[in-house]
Amino acid sequence: MPKLVRFVLVNSAIGIAIGWAIAAGLIWFNISGLGDLVMHSSSRVAAIVVLGSSFGITFGFAYLTTSVLLLPTDKDEFDRY
């Protein structure tokens, strides 16, 4: 697999995991009543899927963008990673 494709996949997966962890924390710690709202909803699965996908996409893209902007510009320095 090319190095840049692996770079994009790994960094996107890390960002998605961070987003899911934050969404789970919001539900678990009942921030602003979000946990009660989701757990007492009649469509709990849909609420969790929408929350997880939106946080995963947002944080995945933000983490990938940050990692791309912080890429070294020198080829020799990039090859060390």
Asked if the structure places residue 54 within a domain, the reply is yes
For 61, counting Cβ atoms within 10 Å of its Cβ (0-12 exposed, 13-18 middle, 19+ buried), the class is: middle
Residue 81's pLDDT band (cuts 50, 70, 90): low
pLDDT of residue 13: 98
Q: Is the pLDDT of residue 72 over 80?
A: no
Asked if residue 73 has pLDDT above 80, the reply is no
Does any domain span residue 24? yes
How many domains does the chain divide into? 1
- What does the angle CA 40 – CA 45 – CA 48 come to, to the nearest 5 degrees? 85
Answer yes or no: is 79 within a domain. no
In order of 9, 22, 49, 62, the CA distances from 35 in angstroms are 31, 13, 14, 25
Q: Is residue 78 part of a domain?
A: no
pLDDT in tens, 24-46: 999 999 999 999 999 999 999 99
Least confident stretch, 16-25, 41-50, 56-65, 72-81:
72-81
Structural domain range at position 57 = 3-71
